Chain A
């Protein structure tokens, strides 16, 4: 055998010459492109990578659809936050609890009517006071010290925060007069599309990892305002102001390593604190342009439900656990909303295969210690078909944990909540682009085989039959015993 391929008229030397020239051209061009990319690389904006768009690792355009992936099936209605928002209801319940113990009638008629229809929630609300809190108190004495660094870190992240909204929309949303007493006029924006780009860039510059813009669907606005939102009477109906036309959704992830060490070592406060600061800054920016803006920020300072708005804004889809799943961060995102009338072009919702995946996967339901996540199908909730989680069970468990409180296990175990390395990006591409469902099955099977967690029962505190387990080991800097002598 010989190397030369004399048969087709191009001899070896000629071939080498031509290849040499071609290589020089291609290689040279490549170096030029390399230089351009190196100069523009968001990773080089040290400290401001996300602000330059380093977090936008998925092209949403590929997955855009006209309608969001939850379905509207019947006549819709707005949620009654007084009882359907679990924190609001628990607040009302606590105020009534003493009366109820003496057997007296409940003063709170709204609550009484709700419990009439949902006796199981009354049981679960009582369980919290009567069984879980006393046991938690005892276990905190015994085991709490272990989580000192986790608590300290959570406190640190939440130490600084913006003021809450302090008035009803017609007052608090509008720009205030400046030192000269002038109220800023609405700036004459050239083009809604350009305005969107500007607002998104500003949101990124304020530190947001992801941004989306939607037209506000009134179905997501609470029928009654929550406490502490500047409304006179929380039992009056909340009239949706005309200037709540658009919603800008911002959001940041929780720190990854503690998030995997949920429930006891994780916290929501890091991402909460960042998202509320970002939302408040973006609102201030919009107000300075002369337009009204109102923030809806964690924890529980909202006039509306945030996740469906984020889904409308094309940031992700709803998962089985009721949490929004984004292609970039999985479920590891804590969003906040700014409602405004600044004319902007809205984003389209996306469909990257989550509905098919969740129908099959069920990892979150299998790992949820509280049994709040359904194994079954979607249900109709206020006219929309979606997965409905049992918030009373959910909150009972996450109130029973040590550390900085909360659970977030469903977020940690979700196959979509993986770091953005080549492996998980590849898996995401596979599941998002495979219409056959084969990859969903294969990926789910592998996820369950490879990323096992503890027995869900072990997540409970010892007094409730568990072992204080966490999904993954805490990062080195949250292991209290390595830094502090524990008694």
Chain B
């Protein structure tokens, strides 16, 4: 009973600290859009807003043009940008006001050049083919968000200033091989709960290897701290193009709470699979003394807590991700992430699941969910986890 109360206290402290951080992050004032609009129309001295569309006037009260903001969810949350259209109906400028993408994306993205190239283009002739213009392969969500935000703001101005209805393109649900594969893996995980022994092991191996190939090397889209923290900050990516992450996180959360162990980690996580494959090469691993595992678990929990705390405080979830997944699956990473990847993979030759035990943020989240489950279940039903 006392144990239960302690768990509850721990949960409350963690959740409340995070909620405070998030609340603080969220209280920051919305950016003043007249600043970027003033940069677009450098002669503007006054602005008037109607239906979300700003008019910019110069000192003599002459109308210089219109501007509106557009906001679309990228990888780490919504970005906010402003597009200005001059009185001739040509783009006067585009300014990025807020963004939450990874530094590596901006390093490769050609966004500044794209914005420059748009200037003086008639508002109805803008080239929205982002693959060409922004040019970061494999970052379609981030690139797409830039383009969609511009489209949104231009459409607003067109409607308000020129009475032209620029239809936003219909965005269909993207339900591809990745989503099908994830569904199959989750179903395999659920099915495996119904069987025991070698059959379950066989299902697990098959689905993990499939996850390694599809979610890992092919699509490089495992759950990351960035994606999870973005969701928890209330930045919901458009489900039409990010269905995969919803499926994975739903599978993770639901089974963690329902069963205590979750099917994502066991049946879908590509990094866990990579670790197991490496472990298989070496054969039987060492078993670490339980106290050391527990100690390292606490250290990991602290790291993860700090990372999420910072993600909430700064509202920059993408910066909190320390996982070396991309280094393994698409060779993107900082030298530190390479080092972490090396240490984890070499360690997994000797010990079981070093990433999950010592580093993985999802394990910490899983433990939190397990704690919640234990607290809210009748004591007699609650099974203790190790």
**Chain A contacts to B: CB under 8 angstroms:** 123, 362, 365-366, 370-371, 375-376, 445-446, 448-449, 455-457
Contacts and interface: CB of A to CB of B under 8 A. Distances in A.
Contacts of A445: 330-331
28 contacts: A123-B120, A362-B135, A362-B137, A365-B135, A366-B108, A366-B135, A370-B113, A371-B110, A371-B113, A371-B117, A375-B110, A375-B132, A375-B135, A376-B132, A445-B330, A445-B331, A446-B331, A448-B331, A448-B332, A449-B327, A449-B331, A449-B332, A449-B333, A449-B338, A455-B106, A455-B107, A456-B107, A457-B112
Contacts of A449: 327, 331-333, 338
Centre residue among B135, B330, B332 by max chain A CB count within 10 A: B135
Nearest to A375: B135
Contacts of B113: 370-371
Contacts of B135: 362, 365-366, 375
A184 B22 CA distance: 89
A391 to B, nearest CB: 15
Contacts of A446: 331
Interface residues of B, number: 17
Going nearest first, the 8 A-B pairs with the smallest beta carbon separation are A371-B113, A375-B135, A449-B331, A445-B331, A455-B107, A376-B132, A366-B108, A371-B110
B318 to A, nearest CB: 16
Nearest to A446: B331
B69 to A, nearest CB: 23
B11 to A, nearest CB: 40
Interface of B is mostly: helix
Nearest to B116: A371
Contacts of B333: 449
A362 B138 CA distance: 13
Centre residue among A366, A370, A445 by max chain B CB count within 10 A: A366
A396 B338 CA distance: 37
B18 to A, nearest CB: 32
Contacts, number: 28
A405 B132 CA distance: 30
A394 B107 CA distance: 19
Contacts of A456: 107
Contacts of A448: 331-332
Nearest to B134: A375
Given A362-B135, A371-B110, A445-B330, 4 more contacts: A370-B113, A375-B110, A376-B132, A449-B331
Contacts of B106: 455
A375 B114 CA distance: 13
Interface in B71-118: 106-108, 110, 112-113, 117
Contacts of B132: 375-376
A366 B117 CA distance: 17
Nearest to A447: B331
A375 B333 CA distance: 22
Contacts of A375: 110, 132, 135
B245 to A, nearest CB: 24
B162 to A, nearest CB: 23
Contacts of B327: 449
B223 to A, nearest CB: 23
Interface string B36-79: 00000000000000000000000000000000000000000000
Nearest to A456: B107
B285 to A, nearest CB: 29
A131 to B, nearest CB: 12
A371 B132 CA distance: 12
A456 B110 CA distance: 9
A369 to B, nearest CB: 9
A370 B117 CA distance: 11
A376 B106 CA distance: 19
A124 to B, nearest CB: 10
Nearest to A450: B331
Interface in B305-358: 327, 330-333, 338
Contacts of B331: 445-446, 448-449
A419 to B, nearest CB: 22
A457 B116 CA distance: 14
A366 B331 CA distance: 16
Contacts of A371: 110, 113, 117
A483 B37 CA distance: 48
Nearest to A445: B331
A446 B327 CA distance: 11
A371 B327 CA distance: 26
A362 B135 CA distance: 10
A376 B333 CA distance: 25
Contacts of A457: 112
A413 to B, nearest CB: 13
A455 B109 CA distance: 10
Interface string B119-138: 01000000000001001010
A284 B197 CA distance: 86
A454 to B, nearest CB: 9
A445 B135 CA distance: 16
Contacts of A370: 113
Contacts of B107: 455-456
A448 B331 CA distance: 8
Contacts of B330: 445
A463 to B, nearest CB: 15
Nearest to A372: B113
A397 to B, nearest CB: 11
B324 to A, nearest CB: 12
A97 to B, nearest CB: 20
A442 B125 CA distance: 39
Contacts of B338: 449
A297 B132 CA distance: 36
A132 to B, nearest CB: 13
